[in-house]
Structure 1
């Protein structure tokens, strides 16, 4: 289908090492995506309080600074962190080894900050930016002994989409659609990564301070 990636990392069957490192990686992805969502909520409350136009401009400048920082740190195009994530996701799928760990970490940090700010003040899609963060985090962890590139890529989709949607089954289906036939061998890891991400995100949500009553009516993104 049109949603599928034209090229994905070579398929492998996950082994014990993939599960050993994959589940903590899924938990880390859940923390990163939920923190970006939290930043979006706080930014939304801040821009809605007063001086909306001025504060929105400040947020736009801050997002631009994040993208500039990514370009300066990596020497790569800021578009990789600026766009929704579909194009960069395809680039990661086609050539995952063409990105250094530093570039992947910079992408995660700068994209998460820019996306979180945009969610609360400008515009930001809820799914593919999260998936990009998940895949980039997974591939950054793929350097760990025993965690393969294909499993890391797959679990990144499943875990991040679960946090973004709150729907682990739907997130696994999205991963299958993106990966195509290569998703077959990754299914056990996809499911466990989705469940892990859901549990971690729910745990973080339960510990998050509730907004003041005056803010409750205006927290939607």
Structure 2
């Protein structure tokens, strides 16, 4: 996760922190509205293209030509979006970025993300949500008189507010900012981003008798209770963490190798070929017994079905096809977030043990989510906290295994793909 676009705490006077915190809370409201509108638009587009359109064509499932063709259409739209200011958003191969984009980039970011996520490209919503939230923060503060690095802090607050709606509230968002080293944010300087995240999340969850606005995040319902830590669980966590890191490091290498061909073959041909390859992988997985739609998209909605799958073969087909489609989507020039597909891969690897060894699905979700998120984001505490929120009360005792999985994934991925040394 990139720490670029960071904010120097020393540049924010203590006397101004209360004002910045209030402004951060105000930024959280429009950031939450943007998050709701964006996620809602993705949901509507996916339903229109992948449910209503097949029904209009007289089929219950998307026919092969839609599975193959819609990602290709996405390629054309993303190519157009990347010609707009902002290049359609940040490159997902490099992870999440805190670098703020100007408000003029909002249209290109939204178009690239909606085209990819709605048409089946294997990337997540978190990166465009962060970017759009950051743009909201920059725009909101343009007329407040706040300048310099303090203005950048409020831009980060917009990003924090937007992603809190996906990651279960302000705590994960705040820990992600702190752990990523976003400008060496100290605890006090986290107040504006946390205030923004809290306001945005309340907009989603509601308060009093108001139920909030519906935003679909990552949720795994009806998990059985995992009641005690077992030695075998820690061993499983270690294995899943190492294997998840190896897989995700391989995916990143595939993405970088594919991206390197861009100057030679051209942006549009690379996007078109990548979109066709993603659709072809989904069709191939369908021929091998998996649901093609579980290969497409970010993987958020498919995790309950993944941990419930009883066939080891089908789980492995999904992991291989998803991993290849994920790497192709990143390297092919699409725009979106890298975290949720990696979480799907981690849970998929842990689900092999569910199908083969009757391991608790609650343990698999916690261990897989922690391993996948740590391997792609290189953040330890954020991954463990998100895994804990994901399994909820049913999985309180999975925390030690989630820590082992995240630590093993982080150490392994750093060995396989060391971070660049500072100049």
Give the TM-score band, short-chain normalised.
0.7 to 0.9
> Does the alignment pair 1:175 with 2:387?
yes
Match of 2:318 in 1: 107
> Does the alignment pair 1:132 with 2:344?
yes
**Structure 1 stretches lacking a partner, 5+ long:** 211-221
- Please list, as runs of the form range in 1=range in 2, the aligned pairs for 1:1-221 lying within 5 A after superposition: 3=217, 5-12=219-226, 13-74=228-289, 76-92=290-306, 96-121=307-332, 122-143=334-355, 145=357, 147-206=359-418
Return 97-106 or 43-52, whichever deviates more. Answer: 43-52
Deviation at 1:204, TM superposition (A): 0.4
CA distance in 2, matches of 1:142, 1:90: 12
Q: TM-score, normalised by structure 1?
A: 0.84
Please tell me the root mean square deviation across aligned C-alpha atoms, in Å: 2.2
Deviation at 1:145, TM superposition (A): 4.8
Deviation at 1:144, TM superposition (A): 5.4
**Structure 2 stretches lacking a partner, 5+ long:** 1-167, 169-214
Q: 1:80 to 1:193 in 2, by over 3 A?
A: same
Q: Deviations 1:119-140 (Å, cap 9, x if unpaired)? A: 1112342111110111011011
Q: 1:51 to 1:141 in 2, by over 3 A?
A: same
CA distance in 2, matches of 1:78, 1:124: 20
- Runs of 4+ in structure 1 displaced over 4 angstroms? 1-4, 143-147
SS of residue in 1 equivalent to 2:403: helix
* Structure showing greater Rg: 2
